[in-house]
Amino acid sequence: MKKRWNILPESTDKTTALQKALGISRTICSILVQRGIDDFEKARDYFRPQLSNLHSPWLMKDMRKAVDRVEQAITQEEKILIFGDYDVDGTTAVASMYRFVCSIGNPTLVDFYIPHRYREGYGVSKAGIDFAAENGFTLIICLDCGIKSVELIAYARTLGIDFIVCDHHLPGNELPNAAAILNPKQADCEYPYKELCGCGVGFKLMSALAEHFSLDETLYYRYLDLVAIAIAADIVPMTGENRILAWYGLKKINEDPAPGIKALIELGGIKHKLNISNVVFVIAPRVNAAGRMDDARKAVQLFIETDETRAMEFAEMLHSDNSDRKLADSSITEEALAIIRANDDLINSKSSVVYKEDWHKGVVGIVASRLIEHFYRPTVVLTRNGNMVAGSARSVTGFNLYEAIYACREHLVAYGGHFAAAGLSMLPENVDAFSRQFNEVVSATIDERLLIPEIIIDAEIGFADIKESAFQIIQQMEPFGPENMRPVFIARKVTDTGYSKILKELHVRFVLKQGDITLTGIGFNMADKFHLLQLKSPVDIVFNIDINEWNGERNLQLKMIDLRISE
């Protein structure tokens, strides 16, 4: 697939000043400046994150109300229900808040509730509120959801149940009538950092409660591993407080993980120090699989379990769910690709809408993302869900998917989402009409350039500057994530040594030369680019700098992303 290369410009004066202040590679200084790290103090905070730099939780609107309501519930021995979404952010938030509230109150009066993905759907559910009412709960602390649950929280009030909402999603025009709403994205909330995940908002409530009750910081710092997993899985910006929390959370994961996390690491076969990428691709899918394939309640049970043997039993359940998820994901992706390839209209379309009645509804979102890897365009994957057709949609970078779906609302029963992803449902007889209109809307509104995937390139670098010292500084830029991605480099007029080769018919082992310096690299799924090396012409290459450890030896290598013939 052809890709657009976007090389970020260097801010010359700021880069020169930062290099003078730090005394490190100009190339790395240029990347730091692009990310807003343009003086010594900012660089110090970036490379040496400190928990002491976290903002006071009392800056968040309604924090005093929330703390007072929790204190009232504990003092008066009310029953407290911890409620959260079925994804990684929700289950980690519920697990940490549940254990924390149990530690400051009477644990026999505390329970948790995770809505079933298919029976109850996303967010606060009527079934969850009814469960609370039937079991005598008078306070619900909901995490990673609730900001738009106006009617349901009003319903809870009629039953004598108060809500504390801890959410990070954008509020609607009307806010729920809750005892307290903690959400830094509220227009009148002065909390300085707006990009916390749901578990992060819960962490701020725990820190305020600990301060209010004069408790030691370790009582909530112990949940930093869960916060880091939520930050990684929810793909929030890896900046500011998120980066501090993720840095210390990863430290805890690597040095003192909770039994459930330790079990997931073992089942994932990770033998080395974990980074954010391991969390995203090894831990998060297993946690998400619980809700996708079965019941996410066992993900919370995994995270709150203190016995290692029991924790391993829960981890094995999640591992099994993830194996089932991978089988469903793989087979459905192949079926969906076959549908597209067999239909000329779909092949030539600027969008993809595919539907089959028996596809597993828990993986259609993943399948939509997989299809975009093959056909880079807005994609909707639909399946039958009882008397309705339901599905998930995914977008390409830069295209507002939600607006496109909103334009087709006459064919829909329900829809929701944001710029990049959405969910929707419709009557079976409306599938064809929706498909036609969605394609018409996308065709009429999408910029043609957005149908070509873009690679953001941070800086040009020569082979002579790819050194162990530079790589060590890049490692200190972790944890990586949105707005602090692993640096991507371009090297120009590189030649093949003749020793590059295809591996397993899919991948390429590169052996490349620039001047008198030779470096090796690995390009996964890049066999279709191998012919460019055989032309014996200089090429420009795009890559990350990585390390290859083999037989006790450690060498720098290039993790290849793309290449093209030099101009």
Residue 426 belongs to domain with CATH number: 3.10.310.30
Q: Which two tokens stand for residue 56?
A: 């006071």
Q: What pLDDT sits at residue 475?
A: 94
* CATH code, domain with 28: 2.40.50.460
Domain of residue 266, CATH code: 3.90.1640.30
State whether 283 and 410 are in the same domain.
Answer: no
Q: At 549, give phi and psi (nearest 5°).
A: -110, 120
The answer to whether position 325 is within a domain reads: no
Q: What does the pLDDT look like over 39-84, one tens digit per residue?
A: 999 999 999 999 999 999 999 999 999 999 999 999 999 999 999 9
- The answer to whether residues 139 and 215 belong to one domain is yes
Q: How many domains does the chain have?
A: 3
* Total number of residues shown for the chain: 567
* 112 and 135 inside one domain: yes
Residues 222 and 363 in one domain: no
Q: Please indicate, yes or no, if residue 334 is contained in any of the structural domains.
A: no
Rounded Cα–Cα distance for residues 93 and 101 (Å): 12
Question: Does residue 438 sit in the same domain as residue 556?
Answer: no
Residue where a domain stops, chosen among 416, 432, 451: 451
Q: Fill in the DSSP letter of residue 214.
A: T
Domain boundary among 402, 424, 451: 451
Q: Three-state DSSP class for 15?
A: helix
Sequence-distant (≥ 6) Cβ neighbours of residue 218 within 8 angstroms: none
- Tokens representing 43 are 């660089």
Residue 170 lies in a domain: yes
Q: What is the DSSP string of 185-204?
A: TSTT---S-----HHHHHHH
Please report whether residue 332 resides in a domain. Answer: no
Please check whether residues 42 and 61 belong to one and the same domain.
Answer: no
Going by their DSSP bridges, the two strands 79-84 and 137-143 should be labelled as: parallel
Enumerate residues 6+ apart whose C-beta is below 8 A from 517: 463, 464
Low-confidence ranges of the chain (pLDDT < 50): none
Predicted pLDDT at 181: 98
Give the integer Cα–Cα distance in Å for 199 and 116: 19
Helices and strands of the chain, counted as H and E runs: 22, 19
Q: Tell me whether residue 161 is in a domain.
A: yes
Q: Which of 287, 303, 319 is where one domain is finished?
A: 319
If asked whether residues 462 and 424 sit together in one domain, one would say: no
Q: Are residues 147 and 270 in the same domain?
A: yes
Cα–Cα distance between 118 and 459 in angstroms, integer? 46
Which of 235, 188, 148, 152 has the alpha carbon at shortest distance from 61? 188
Write the CB contacts of 553 (distance below 8 Å, at least 6 apart in sequence): none
- Does residue 124 belong to any structural domain of this protein? yes
Residue 373 is predicted with a pLDDT of: 94
The Cα–Cα gap between 53 and 62 comes to 22
Quick check: is 550 in a domain? Answer: yes
- Structural domain range at position 539: 4-48+455-565
Q: Is residue 330 part of a domain?
A: no
Query: In terms of domains, do 22 and 128 share one?
Result: no
- Give residue 416's pLDDT: 81
pLDDT of 415:
87
On whether both 356 and 293 belong to a single domain, the answer is: no
| Together in a domain, 119 and 243 | yes
What is the model's pLDDT at position 473?
Answer: 95
Q: Give the Cα separation of 156 and 228 in Å (integer).
A: 32
What confidence tens digit (pLDDT) does each residue in 92-129 have?
999 999 999 999 999 999 999 999 888 887 789 999 99
Same domain, 25 and 122: no
Q: In this structure, are residues 387 and 426 in contact, taking their beta carbons and an 8 Å threshold?
A: no
Distance CA 434, CA 404 (A): 11
Confidence at residue 364, expressed as pLDDT on a 0 to 100 scale: 94
